[in-house]
Structures are given as C-alpha cells and as structure tokens.
Structure 1
Amino acid sequence: MAEHKHGTMDITDQENTFNGFISFTKNAVFVIIAVLILLALTGA
C-alpha cells in the first residue's frame, strides 16, 4: 500500500464543483431577493 503524502492529491475537480455550487447559490439568492422585492412592490 502506498504512503499518503499530505497535500499531493489533485483537487481541481473538487474546487470546480465547490466554485460552481457557490456561484449557483449566489445567483439563486439574488433571484429570490428580486422576486421578493417584486412581490412587495406589486402587493401580490
């Protein structure tokens, strides 16, 4: 069994997935806030 050396694993895919999740979450929050403002302005 090979020895594991801390910090040698390629984490590019994990970083891309995390960055995509953060981007999606940020955009979803902006959309939700915009919808709430629209609802408040229209009185619906």
Structure 2
Amino acid sequence: MAEHEHGSMDITEQRKTFHGFIRLATWVAGLSILALIFIALLNA
C-alpha cells in the first residue's frame, strides 16, 4: 500500500462544493431575516 503524503490530494471539487454550500446558506439566512422583518412589519 502506498504511503499517504499529506497535502497531495486534489480537493478542487470539495472546495467548489463547500463554497457553493456557504453561498446557499448565506442566501437562505438573508432571505429568512428579510421574511421575518416583513412579517414583523405586517403585524405592527
């Protein structure tokens, strides 16, 4: 079995997936905050 060399794996796809997830989570959080503000204004 070949020895593992730290830092030798290509993680390009993992980085793209992670950045996509962070972008999606940011959009969801922002839209949730806007929805809560809108609901609060309607009930005021």
TM-score exceeds 0.5: yes
Partners of 2:10 and 2:22 in 1: CA distance: 20
Q: Runs ≥4 in structure 1, deviation > 2 angstroms? A: none
Structure 1: which 5+ runs fail to align? none
Q: TM-score, normalised by structure 1?
A: 0.91
Note the 1:1-40 alignment, pairs <5 A. Answer: 1-40=1-40
Tell me the SS of whatever aligns to 2:2. coil
Q: TM-score, normalised by structure 2?
A: 0.91
Q: How many residues align?
A: 44
CA RMSD in angstroms comes to 1.3
Amino-acid identity (%): 50
Structure 2: which 5+ runs fail to align? none
